Amino acid sequence: MSLLRLTYLGLALWGATHPMLWFPRWFREHDFDLAALVAAWHVNAATSALVWDLTIAAVTLSIWVLAEVAVRRNWVALIAIPATFCIGVSCGLPLYLFLRTAPVR
C-alpha cells in the first residue's frame, strides 16, 4: 500500500475517532438531549456558519462520490456517503480518497 493511501486511511481513522471524543462529554452534561445538541450547533453566527460549511461540504462530497461511482463502478466507495453523514466530513472525505486511490484491476 502506498504512503498516500496509508495517509488517507490514517486521516479517515482520525476523522472517525477524534471528533467523536467530544460527544460523550456533551451527553454526560446534557443527558442525551439531541434537541439541545442541535440547538448548540446554532448558538451563534460562527457555529451556524460552521454547520452550514460542513453541510455543504458533505452534500458536495456525496454528489462527487455518486458521480464517480456511476463512471468507475467502484461500488464499495459508496460507504463514504453514510460515513460522511453519520460520522462527518473529516472521516468521509479521506475514506473516499483512500477507496478511490486503490490500484485499478
How many domains would you assign to the chain?
Answer: 1
Could you report the per-residue pLDDT of 16-48, keeping only the tens digit for each?
Answer: 999 999 988 988 999 888 899 899 999 999 999
Q: Per the domain annotation, does 105 fall within a domain?
A: no
Rounded mean pLDDT, 90-103: 96
SS (H, E, C) the chain: CCHHHHHHHHHHHHHHHCHHHHHHHHHHHHCCCHHHHHHHHCCCHHHHHHHHHHHHHHHHHHHHHHHHHHHHCCHHHHHHHHHHHHCCHHHHHHHHHHHHCCCCC
pTM of the model: 0.89
pLDDT for 104: 75
Range of 21's domain? Answer: 3-100
Rounded mean pLDDT, 1-13: 97
Q: Per the domain annotation, does 89 fall within a domain?
A: yes
